[in-house]
Structure 1
Amino acid sequence: MWNAIQWVRSLLFITQMYIMLPLVGFLGVPLVWIKRDNAFKVIHFYCNWVRWTASWMVGLKSEIRGEVPTGEVLIAAKHQSFFDILLLASVLPRLKFIYKSQLKWAPIINIYAIYTNSVPVNRGKKGAAIKQMVAAVKDGQKKPGQLVIFPQGTRVAAGSKKPYKVGTGVLYNETGQPVVPASTNVGVFWKRHGIMRYPGVAVLEFHDPIEPGLALDAFMERVEDAVETGSNALMREAGLKEIET
């Protein structure tokens, strides 16, 4: 009975979430055209709306740990579901993403991507994609912001393990910017697929920055250790027992 009730609550939550997405997006466009920085305010409003409604509609509370980055940095984040993107976007003052180039044709998403200096990339060609990422990030260095990267390149189910891609290390070396590792346990409560949302406390945790200057291999080892160790600890805290190592 509890599962059935929670499933219905989850469905209602998801429905209103996706209704609000285009509504807030469309209503926010004039504000963005008036002032570029309003794009971040619209994004923060929507993401915090989802966090608030999740807390009382499905019992999924959320919290941010560690010092939220505010300068020009790269953020190497664990990616388990759509919710970790929302948590990042709810607190980063000037976030920008590396996103699939196909999304350039999504009307509302494209507007906000442009006004937040996000970087479109064709992920189908790895070598070209890395060069494209480096060129685009370098081109935007004079615009302050926090560029979010998912080092594993895709969503990874809670407790599962996937290799880290070298693109994050290339960006670290080429841009000369600090990298802030970010861990999460959101996948325990908000799966990659399906409607069910589980009650609990979803956490996004920022770790100490990795300063520029490390060799590629040393950097990749350090960022993976920080993100995975932190995420594993948060998932165990959330009650997940089976974690691949």
Structure 2
Amino acid sequence: MSVLRSVLFNVLAFLLTLLMGVGAFPIRWFAHGLALPYAKLWSRLVLALFRSICGVKVEITGLEHLPAKGPALIASQHQSAFDTLVWMLLLPRPCYVMKGELRRIPLLGPMLVLTGMMPIERAAGAKAMRMLLQETDKALKADRQIIIFPEGTRTAPGEHVALKPGIAAMANHAKLPVIPVATNSGLFWGRNAFFKRSGVLHIAIGPAVGPAKRAALLADIEAGWREQEKTFQPIA
């Protein structure tokens, strides 16, 4: 059954993405202001397919730690494509820090730019950090809520990697605290995984930490993640 569910979800999600990618041309040409609402709709539909077809229940705790409006910095664990979609539903004006090469994906890339995401060329070294801080200023001035994945790549559930320093630079530059978020999404929609698994997917939002010096802030984010992971239900 899980195989059939996975095949059905992947096919429908691909067709939906293709259809909405083509349907976005009028927005790209004439109505840039509709780009973010359109992206939110696409995310909502893909995740609705994921929940209904794959039998996944999404349980979110700590929503009280998110701002109702205004700027924010959110440091989320990153285990699956799910993490790059769900914040479109949870925040009023989300803005992801993303790999610069995503801009070059046909249909999707141009919409990412129009929605005001933050593409960063990570191979650019010190220039990438300057660009990150410049984009942070623009996003916060526009009252965007910035989502960054400090691990720098998708990781497996339970895997610990050294956090990238960008989030600390952003927090200290903007004089804003950071909201740590833990998840177990990789158990249900793994990295590059064709097959999906049913169950209870957790998103645990912790109280804000910092700003603080880089080492202390990264340690506080890690500690926040570990604390929130304790709330996850064990997987049978």
Indicate if the aligned counterparts of 1:40 and 1:93 stay in contact, CA closer than 8 A: no
Q: Structure 1, residues 135-177: CA drift from partner, whole Å, max 9, x if none?
A: 2212343211111111110101012111111111111111222
TM-score w.r.t. length of structure 1: 0.85
| Sequence identity (%) | 27
Measured at CA, do residues 71 and 211 of structure 1 come closer, stay the same or move farther in structure 2, by a change above 3 Å?
farther
1:20 to 16, 19, 30: 16
Tell me how far 1:42 sits from its aligned partner. 1.5
Partner of 1:243: none
Report 1:32-181 matches (<5 A).
35-67=31-63, 68-69=66-67, 70-181=69-180
Task: Structure 1: give runs of 5+ residues left out of the alignment.
Answer: 241-245
Indicate if the aligned counterparts of 1:185 and 1:238 stay in contact, CA closer than 8 A: no
Q: Secondary structure at the residue paired with 2:73?
A: strand
Q: Secondary structure at the residue paired with 2:123?
A: coil
Tell me how far 1:226 sits from its aligned partner. 0.7
Q: Calculate the aligned-residue CA RMSD, in Å.
A: 2.1
Partner of 1:223: 221
Write the distance in 1 (CA, Å) between the matches of 2:61 and 2:31.
Answer: 31
Matched, 1:9 2:26: no
TM-score w.r.t. length of structure 2: 0.88
Measured at CA, do residues 197 and 232 of structure 1 come closer, stay the same or move farther in structure 2, by a change above 3 Å?
farther
Q: Secondary structure at the residue paired with 1:112?
A: helix
Indicate if the aligned counterparts of 1:95 and 1:116 stay in contact, CA closer than 8 A: no
Write the distance in 1 (CA, Å) between the matches of 2:191 and 2:108.
Answer: 20
AA matched with 1:41: P
Q: Structure 1, residues 207-232: CA drift from partner, whole Å, max 9, x if none?
A: 222354x2222211111111233235
